Structures are given as structure tokens and as C-alpha cells.
Structure 1
Amino acid sequence: MTKQVNITNDNFLEVVKEGTHLVELSGDGCSGCIALKPTVMQLLPKYPQITYHYVVVTHETSDICHKYGVDRIPALLLLHNGVLAALVKGYQPEEILDLWLEDQLSRLK
């Protein structure tokens, strides 16, 4: 499920406090970011338990990157009940991303 929530530094922890969330940190004009979003969108129907958020990194969201040690984009944060479960940086092909999600979700059970 894709959430249409305007995520900011101030409301991030409140948005992700319950459930499993995949947060894609992205940027305008980033080729890896442009390529990653459709890959993630292809996989989301397979993982209905995940709430997906697409966040463009700006001054209003940069604290999220600092909090989780994200030093490059694109990056994917997998959070469960507000706690970081996994992080991956850079573009990931669909097959690798699918395996990563399966593995991480199995660890949350």
C-alpha cells in the first residue's frame, strides 16, 4: 500500500510507529532514484503488509537521513513498529530487492 502522507522530519516517527513501512529516500534528478521507484512499485503487490512511502530528500526531510546514516540516495528504510529493521543504499535490481524484502520480512515474524 502506498501512503500519500507528506512526511517531514517532524512527523516521520509518528507516521511509521505502527506496522511495517518501506521508505524510499529519493532525490530529483538522481538516475538511480528514477530507476528504483518503478522497481519498488512492481514488487509492492507481492507485499501487502508493507506500507510504502516515497520521500524526496529536502531540508524538510534531511534529518531522517542523518538519523539512519543515509549518506547517499536512493536508499530504502524498512521499519517495523517505528524501529529500523533494515537499510539498503543505492539502486537495487528487482530480483535482488525482492530477495532482500523476503529475507527482512521473514526476520520480523
Structure 2
Amino acid sequence: MKELAAMTDTNLTHLITEGKHVLFFTATWCSDCRFIKPAMPEIEAEFPEYDFIEIDRDQFIDICEEWEIFGIPSFVVIDNGKEIGRFVNKDRKTKREITGFIHSLN
């Protein structure tokens, strides 16, 4: 998974204009984020057509506000620059819920 902080171009809008992307909003202090993080490589492997980008809520609070992300972990799916779905709430998310959400968009 790519981390926005580690990328040379942190202009998110520019990064997601082409292709399919899953934005994974998270934070180091978030227990629900730590719960799902070990499953993320398996989730990514199930969806090789998507680039997954991890966005730390605390480091990029302005992006979270712009995208109206109020609960984490949250997932926003982008296809050629357009949002096609989001899984955003304050609840703990399971691998099954996340993969079901992404499958529902195809």
C-alpha cells in the first residue's frame, strides 16, 4: 500500500485522476485502524486493479475535511478521478465488510 506521506506528489487530486484507487483513511492512535491494518495486504491482493493509498488523518487533516471523513478507518473508492463509493463511519470494519463493499462497486 502506498502512503500519501511517503509519496513525492502529495496532491491527492492529481494522484487519483486516472485509474482505480481505494483511499484508506487511518491514524496511528485508532484501535479500529490497527485492527484492520494486518488484513489490508490480503484485501489489496484481492483487488489488484486498484491502487490503495493510505492517508493518515492527523498528518492530512485538511484532506480529511475536504473529503468529509469524520470517522476512521474509512474507505473511499475512486475511478478516474470520480468517487464511486465510500465506506465511512465510526465503526470497526472487518475484512469481509471491506471486500464486500468493494465488490459491490464492480
Q: C-alpha displacement at 1:100, in angstroms?
A: 0.9
Percent identity between matched residues is 19
The equivalent residue for 1:98 is: 99
Query: Given the superposition, is the C-alpha separation of residues 45 and 36 from structure 1 closer, same or farther in structure 2, using an over 3 Å criterion?
Result: same
Map 1:39-54 to 2 at 5 A: 39-54=39-54
State the SS of the aligned residue for 1:33: helix
The equivalent residue for 1:3 is: 2
TM-score (norm 2): 0.83
List runs of 5+ in structure 2 lacking aligned partners.
none
The equivalent residue for 2:80 is: 81
* Root mean square deviation of aligned Cα: 2.0
The equivalent residue for 1:26 is: 26
Number of residue pairs matched by the alignment:
102
Regions of 4+ moved over 4 Å: none
Q: C-alpha displacement at 1:5, in angstroms?
A: 4.6
